Amino acid sequence: MTGAPRQAHDAVPPSCVLWGLGSGRRARALLRAGHRVEVLALDVDPSRPEQARAVVAGCEELHNAMQHGELIVRVAQPAHLASRFQGLADACPRPQLEVDLAALMSVPQPAQALARMIERIHIERRDVARFGSVLRDNLRRNLDASASAISFEALAGTARGRLGVVLAAGPSASASLEWIAATRNVAPLIAVDTALPMCERACVSIDYLASVDPHAASAVHLQRGTTGVGALAFQPYASPAVVAAFSERVLALPAGDLLCDAVAERTGLPRLPVAGTVLLYALQLAAQLGCDPIIVVGADFAHVGGRSHAEGTATSVATSPSGITALTRHNREVASSTSLLRFRSDIERHIANTSAHHIAVDGGGAAIAGTRMVDRHAVARWLQRRMRTETPWRRAPLTPASDDCIATQRRIWSHLLDAFSSQG
């Protein structure tokens, strides 16, 4: 599908490229801002271009813009759209890039890999633009902690073949704390930092606490203390207030970050895929430990009971209906959001790439592909039987690095950070 006379479109390049058509709302906003817009409609099945025509025809503003050469909507195979985008990206002047994240949540199967890549790049660039100074400040303030932290690689296989529990902070999480507490002498517990106050209140100890949030507000998770945490697994952009609250720390670097990639090449620190959810880091920890099966609790990816997080977390609030829903394992709709569904896609992709079995405790949230979803009562009964044959397990304290090693790591971090800062 193209709009206006072809020659008019080719003669005047767009000032803005938009990935995803959706309802056309984002395109309308860009047109009103004075842009000449080209939509790469990755969310429209190329075998059904009439879907895009219907969106345009149903909106007088879009229809008129297309007639006057201010809008073009391209419907094509993902490879063709990617090629077109590359050509526009190489043009001078380069058009502004925009992404309709809601539209890219509903792309056809063949386009999903490209859509996830576009989403990730867009979100990372947006975050760097909005929070670049915060991220750089965090790196400097975490420099000593990063230099002295134990490598994520040191955890490899330390709980191989054991049951592991990964605790997210979704609305259903608090209902499982009783049986989680009963597993503490046989199964590692890896929790996201959002779940810390909930666990502290219930006196549930945590072996590894995962934290990646760079914002100072994440320190609110420390409000009930940190006595029940064995070690913090963080990434170098994490909030310094959270990082400083723990003496035992494990570090892995976000893959694809230019500075962290350079540090990894000099230090041998591992790089991990990143996403917008700390739950991914927690699951990566469980995989690194060698846990199998891995029981995932509180990963609802939905506003179960109209709540954002579990009762007892610092950030639990009542949510307003967004109109976006997800399907439960029983094919019922439950309120969700575009960000939660995007996070679910990241988690499903991780699970698909691991060999461990994942059991998701069904708290009424969204179905998670690649997991066996079971209600919490059935999980509790199964665990009672399994724990009769499990041998005790305790997290071994981390062996600190030598002073010479820490000094070397600090010099590398400091040198590269200075070099990147001088480049802007």
One digit per residue, the tens of pLDDT, for the chain of length 424 reads 664 434 444 557 899 999 999 999 999 999 999 999 999 999 999 999 999 999 999 999 999 999 999 999 999 999 999 999 988 888 878 898 899 988 888 888 888 888 878 877 777 677 666 666 888 899 999 999 999 999 999 999 999 999 999 999 999 999 999 999 999 999 999 999 999 999 999 999 999 999 999 999 999 999 999 999 999 999 999 999 999 999 999 999 999 888 999 999 999 999 999 888 999 999 999 999 999 999 999 999 999 999 999 999 999 999 988 788 999 999 999 999 988 998 999 999 999 999 999 999 999 999 999 999 999 999 999 998 988 888 999 998 899 999 999 999 999 999 998 888 776 5
Could you tell me the residue ranges of all domains in the chain?
6-124, 142-386
Q: Please tell me the distance from the alpha carbon of residue 44 to that of residue 18, in angstroms, as a whole number.
A: 13
Which token pair is 218?
């994440």
Whole-angstrom CA distances from 329 to 72, 100, 230, 332, 371 are 39, 28, 34, 7, 11
Whole-angstrom CA distances from 142 to 150, 200, 235, 268, 417 are 14, 25, 10, 18, 12
With residue 238 as reference, give the H or E element that holds it: none
Say which residues have a Cβ less than 8 Å from residue 29's Cβ, sequence separation at least 6.
none
Count of CB atoms within 10 A of residue 333's CB?
12
Rounded to 5°, angle at Cα 374 from 368 and 378 = 165
Q: Which long-range contacts (CB under 8 A, 24 or more apart) does 58-64 make?
A: 59/24, 59/28, 61/28, 61/31, 62/24, 62/27, 62/28, 62/31
Residues 146/259, Cβ–Cβ less than 8 Å: no
Whole-angstrom CA distances from 396 to 242, 248, 279 are 22, 11, 23
CATH for 6-124?
A: 3.40.50
Rounded to 5°, angle at Cα 59 from 56 and 64 = 75
Residues 39/62, Cβ–Cβ less than 8 Å: no
* Residue 120: closest CA among 104, 138, 132: 104
